[in-house]
Structures are given as C-alpha cells and as structure tokens.
Structure 1
C-alpha cells in the first residue's frame, strides 16, 4: 500500500501510524489537522515548515 501524504496544503509529510483524521482528510499531526493555529509548526521530525506558510 502506498503511503498517504498529509492533506495539509504545503505539507509533504507522510500520514503514518500517528496520523489524525478529520472530515474525511488525513493529516500527519494535530497541528496540520487544526490548520496551524497561531502558526503552530508541523510536529513531524522531517523539518517541514508548512505551518510557516499557513499564516
């Protein structure tokens, strides 16, 4: 099975086993699922900066 990419715009992280499902979409972390409130960063260890672009 192909790994699923996070549904957060500008994020290229894999959803993985700790992913969050909301409204039929799948996110790699809670910050992405919450649409980066107050610029909260992506919680993956890959150094993703999608939270910076969400503002």
Structure 2
C-alpha cells in the first residue's frame, strides 16, 4: 500500500499555512508556503497569507 501526500504544513515553525506539495517552495528538502518562509524571513516579511502572522 502506498500513500500520496498532497498537502503539508509549511516548514516554517511559526507559520500556520498548509501548502500543496506541488505548489510550495522547496528549500533544503523542506516545503514552504512562499519565499519569505523559505528564506527564514531574512527581510522580516511574513508570508502575508490570511490568518497567518509569521515573521520567522
């Protein structure tokens, strides 16, 4: 039996977003919801998704 994962929680620890594996930003083998999370909020910007207040 095999399982196909289609969505995962963003790898950013402060983020609450769930992202499609196919549409996420992959960095270092982890899936992030967008570039801000993938770069560990180096510019201090959050992901700007509704309901999420992450800033790394």
Give the TM-score taking structure 1 as reference length.
0.75
Q: CA RMSD in A?
A: 1.7
Is the helix fraction higher in 1 or 2? 1
Contiguous gaps of at least 5 residues in structure 2: none
Contiguous gaps of at least 5 residues in structure 1: none
Is the strand fraction higher in 1 or 2? 2
Number of residue pairs the alignment of both structures matches: 51
Runs of 4+ in 1 over 4 A off after TM superposition: none
Give the TM-score taking structure 2 as reference length.
0.74
